[in-house]
Amino acid sequence: MVPGIGRNGFFAAALVGIVGAWIGEMIIGPVGPSVEGVPLIPAIVGSAIFIFAMYLIARLFQKNSRKS
């Protein structure tokens, strides 16, 4: 979640933040402080959920590619 660290850098971090904010607000709702209309707590929680889901999907594809 830190821009510049990892293979994809800023754009991947921005995409994770946007999708995470959307997921977090859908699950938790607008809770806590917000910046420019984006609630921070749901954005952080949603980003963590999104990153974890992407990790699980990547592991699934890695296991399937090793079998073939």
pLDDT at 64: 74
SS in 3 state form for 12-35?
A: HHHHHHHHHHHHHHHHCCCCCCEE
Residue 39, helix vs strand vs coil: strand
Q: Give the tens place of pLDDT for each residue, 2-58.
A: 444 556 677 888 888 889 899 999 999 989 999 998 899 999 999 999 988 888 888
pLDDT computed for residue 2 by the predictor: 47
Residue type at 39 in one-letter notation: P
